[in-house]
Structure 1
Amino acid sequence: MFREIVACVEYFKDGVCSNYIAETEFVYLKENKTVESIENSLGDILIVQGLAILNDVETKKCVEDFTKYICATIYPKCTLVANTQQANVIIPCKSTCTNAITSCNNIEQPSQIVQDILSLPTFPRNCSGLIKQTSPLNIEYPISNCDPLLQIKDEPRCFSPLVVDIAKVKSDSDTLNADYCHNGCCVPCPQSYNLYPQGYYVKGIFAAQIIKSISAIFSGFVLISYIILPKRRSHPSIMLLFISLSIFLYSSNVFFSIFNQKKIQCVDNITPSTQENNTLCAIQGAFLIFAAQASTIWAGIVMLNFHLHTVWDSNLLANKYIYIHLIAWGIPSLLTLIALTTASIKYQFGGFCTVAINIANELYFYPMLTIVIPSFLIHLYTSYHIFKSSKTSLTNSTLLSNIQHNQIIESLRIQSHAFLLVILLTIIVLFYWLFYFFNVKKIVEYSQNNEFLVKWLTCIQSGKGQNICSEISKNYMPSFFLLIAAEIINSLIGFILFGLFTNNIFWNDWNSFIKEKLSRSLIKKVEMPEQFFTI
């Protein structure tokens, strides 16, 4: 024990020495020194603590014993003497020095971390002589009545964005998640967010969700219009009611998580959502699969109906709505049911739960492509037919052919809207499919890429930060801007529906409907009977 007028202050949480000194314990500081200033000077120790999780047992033991030596000599513990300005300084035991030398010097093939520790000027060369040249440690190491600085906890040093594996801290054989935790440090959910510059992914997905929300409002307005306006509830316009409904359902998927992305993406701070551990993920994913398939099928039906009417002068589908509904809603229901029964809905990237990458083509993209591509080809033929008929009518100068020519031109104008819908839907589906097929695999499989993991974790655990370490991700992950572009383009379908089908006739129908309702309201007021009896 050593008694002197000293500064005896409490240590704090998460410091370099927090595994050995409790935050409620007092440590000795010289005048004009603070714990914060000392911690700032120990950056090298923090880095070797961080990198220790990526190394073998011998290296970790060297790091632990060296840290213990540093803490014992920089922060000797002390106890305050009641009603005085004096304190008892507890001198560290000689073992804190000898253990560091033994653990680090006796490694046959020292890792780079061990070599870095041995080259530090603060590493002890021997344990004889004075502990330090300055008071109160200007004495030789005692071997009894001293502080061995025992380990009070075994919490690894995890640099942001990594978080501590609390389960492993409590029990070395346990872990919060074997897939996303390594030697006590975990990559938090959603994992892909951490591979890009800090905040980029959150802001990008939120921007895409805002766009999709507006898209849902637009498609919802078209849907309400086709329900309310009398002229829109008969064949073939009623088909646009159903495609508006399916597109609205698809776009409104965003409302599951727009202001709280993680409630869909993650079941806890580490584990990504699946349909088995997050009911909301299951509902949202099923909703997405059903609506996406239904939107595609109804678009195909609209195009097929126009083709039959224009090329073959046939109204075949007008009285076949029972079969149409069985196909348009039945196939999406079946695909959704398969996804649910095979537990294929999970969160993997972006803002939503969707079909697992290993079965996405079979359950999601191939069914859509079998509708979109034939619809596109049918409309190419339909457009060719209209163009050919228009060209033929120009060579005929009779009044009847002029009338027919005007009708063909009008059909071509209407056709252009439906054709654009198919073209844009095809582009969206193909772009998203190609992105998903070639890029999402990178996001999903990065945890299996040991080369990438070592590089990225080494960068993070060297204290360089998420922004700098995201440069490493560029060689393994999809471009951030491509990823967000895929999310945004996928959100535009409601805008497309609104832009193509809210023409002058549409607004005139609304104008007539409102005027009619106002006229009826005025008539009712004029014809309203007396409210009171005459006595």
Structure 2
Amino acid sequence: MAANGTAVGQGACPGPFLQEDLFSTSGGFVNGRFCSDLLGPSCCLPCPQTEWLYPDNFQTITLAANWINVLSLVCIAFLLLSFAVLPVGKTHRHYLSVCLAIGVTFMSLGFIIPLGAKPKQCYDAITPNDMGSNTSCALSGAFLIAGGWAAVIWVFLRAIALHLQICWQIVIGKTFMWGALATGWGVPAIGVTLALVFSGVSFRFGDTCHINHKNSLAVLWIPLLVFAGITVITQFATFGYCIKVYLASLVDDSTTTENSGLPSYTSSVRGTISPKQAYRRVKRVMELQWRGIVVVLLIVTDVIFFAIIFVFMDDIATNMVKNPTKSTAWLGCLIQTNGNKNKCLSLAQHIVVNQATVMAVLLLLSVNGVWVLCLLGRFSMFTGWYELIRHRVKPNTEFVSADAHAYKDPSSYEMLGRERDNGNGDSKTPEPFMATSNVVTPLSPVAKSGRETPDYFGREARYKSPSRSFSSPKPPPGHVSPNIQWEPQLSTQRAGTGINEWDGANTHAQSTYYTGMDPLAMNKI
């Protein structure tokens, strides 16, 4: 590389450096050149720069990271295909999980595209390519930024949803779903647009393009870190609430858990729930949501680590441009050894991020798809595919989330509560946090046949008819049917039937039974 690089364009510069004035500025990412005037004329390091700053195996490691993303893409493809084809009882899908998987898919595509395109990293001997001079660079950089934004926003929304349900007992419904969809895809679209317009992407290391230093803090890194920070704070606030509920349940010696009746209205639930009841509710949700919580923490950790490393790299590059004397020893070594980089790598360690850190970032980003499948996937997916192939189950016919429509078995969704405490500590039937509508939402009541009031906290209240009731239905004025025959008897037993008939003579209430009445048709809609 050094021999070829010094053959053309060396000019007045010592090897292996090339004279900048001998190259055009009409293409490529000109600001990405590594040039200095310490040697007299402006002399530049041959492209790609990473081959001079890192050992020979650096390119092999970046290529290996790209192939790991192929494995991640296969895992995500299996997960998304299972969501789309298999019945919901096998997948426990939820739109928060589906959209997060799509976001991780975008991130993996950013590393996979270069495997097929095999792009040229350099526009000329000293200038790296950017999104304007290389299509593969534009696509890989855009997918990587879009995937990072989508992953951060959707784990942020998952953390918010969990916090609302556990800490505030709010059932997330259609309003939250549509707001989440608008936010989860609108913010990444805006973020990608701003990043490409005001900063751009170019080849900085490896075959995948990354965002340039210019304006990158304002249009990408700071906003990403803000959302990631809010996610972490929200997640730990939820953990803190769970710990508080647990500690309160330890000292709770009340007997209201088993003996108290239902609250008279929904808004009084929070005021009457005992610490033990709150602990059981929180415990059930945590048991259902631990996979999503782990996914949130993993992806947020990856993104924060990735952002910090890139910000640090940009800071080093900026300082080298402003104060090139920091790299004097390394430049002098390259000149003395005639471009033998291996003898000078030890002098370059303080001007670049070390190889182990860069590789850790790439590998962590590459295995996100594997983590998502392991934590959001279910073993029932494999049995579902087996049964589908054996024609034992019907494929899924509609691809909607738990918050969109009511299903016959909504408890199979990932974010739905499955157990309801019966007041004695036994968890058998589904229980929501709080339900105010018929829309099936995460941790919303299971749809049942007939007209039934949901049991929110597992306590049963039996209705006792009062001994004297003076209420009665009255026919609309002016519409009394002439065929109605009011029976004056009270509790007269029909012969041979054992059935007591109504007698309104001794009560204040009027009978609603009339000849020809069809009781089975009264509740027909």
Query: What TM-score do the two structures reach when normalised by structure 1?
Result: 0.59
CA distance in 1, matches of 2:313, 2:109: 25
Residues 50-84 of structure 1: CA distance to partner in whole angstroms, max 9, x if unpaired?
xxxxxxxxxxxxxxxxxxxxxxxxxxxxxxxxxxx
In the alignment, what sits opposite 2:362? 487
Q: Is 2:337 the counterpart of 1:478?
A: no
Matches within 5 A, 1:253-292: 253-258=110-115, 262-263=119-120, 265-292=121-148
CA contact (8 A) 1:215 1:491 kept: yes
Match of 1:362 in 2: 218
Mapping 1:5-404, distance limit 5 Å: 159-160=2-3, 162-166=5-9, 174-175=22-23, 179=33, 187-197=45-55, 199-231=56-88, 237-258=94-115, 262-263=119-120, 265-342=121-198, 344-393=200-249, 395=252
SS at match of 1:354: strand
Provide closer, same or farther for how the CA distance between residues 444 and 214 of structure 1 changes in structure 2, counting only shifts above 3 A: farther
2:380 equivalent to 1:508: yes
Deviation at 1:247, TM superposition (A): 0.8
Corresponding position: 1:421 with 2:277: no
Q: Which has the higher contact order (CA 8 A, sep 6+)?
A: 2
Contact 1:345 1:355 in 2 (8 A): yes
Cα 1:392/1:175, change in 2 over 3 Å: closer
2:83, 2:98 within 8 Å by CA — same for their partners in 1?
Answer: yes
Check the 8 A contact 1:432/1:486 in 2, yes or no.
yes
Residue in 2 that maps onto 1:129: none
Letter in 2 for 1:474: Q
SS at match of 1:257: helix
Deviation at 1:448, TM superposition (A): 6.1
Residue 297 of structure 1: CA displacement?
0.7
Deviation at 1:195, TM superposition (A): 1.6
Change (3 A) 1:517 1:209: closer
Q: 1:350 to 1:361 in 2, by over 3 A?
A: farther
Structure 1 residue 191: Cα displacement: 0.9
Larger Rg: 1
| Matched-pair contact (CA < 8 Å) for 1:167–1:176 | no
1:513 Cα offset (Å)? 4.8
Q: Distance in 2 between matches of 1:428 and 1:285?
A: 18
CA contact (8 A) 2:137 2:209 kept: yes
What's 1:111 paired with?
A: none
Measured against aligned partners, the alpha-carbon deviations of 1:400-452 in whole angstroms (never above 9, x if no partner) come to: 99887655433222343233223222322222222112234325664665435
Count of paired positions: 359
Where does structure 1 lack aligned partners over 5 or more consecutive residues? 1-157, 523-535
Q: Within 1, Cα distance between the matches of 2:239 and 2:140? A: 38
* Pairwise CA distance, 1:325: 2.0
Decide whether aligned partners of structure 1 residues 210 and 445 sit closer, same or farther in structure 2, where only a CA change above 3 A counts: farther
Matched residue SS, 2:115: coil
Shift of 1:348: 2.5
Could you give the per-residue CA deviations for residues 85-133 of structure 1, whole angstroms, max 9, x where no partner exists?
xxxxxxxxxxxxxxxxxxxxxxxxxxxxxxxxxxxxxxxxxxxxxxxxx
**How far off its partner does 1:468 sit?**
0.5
CA shift digits 1:251-300 (9 cap, x unpaired): 1211111366653x333443211222222212221222122111111111
Does residue 344 of structure 2 align to residue 469 of structure 1? yes
CA deviation string 1:171-221 (max 9, x = no partner):
997336784578798633221221222x12212212322333322222332
**SS of corresponding position for 1:495:** helix
Larger helix share, 1 or 2: 1
Once the two structures are aligned, what percentage of the paired residues are identical?
A: 21
Gaps spanning 5+ residues in structure 2: where? Answer: 13-18, 260-273, 395-525
State the shift of 1:334 in Å. 1.4
Give the aligned residue type for 1:511. Answer: T
Q: Distance in 2 between matches of 1:229 and 1:521?
A: 8
Q: 1:519 to 1:427 in 2, by over 3 A?
A: closer
Q: Secondary structure at the match of 1:316?
A: coil
Q: Give 1:496's aligned amino acid.
A: W
- Give the Cα–Cα distance (whole angstroms) in 1 for the partners of residues 309 and 20 of structure 2: 40
Q: 2:435 is matched with which residue?
A: none
Tell me how large the CA RMSD over aligned residues is. Answer: 3.6
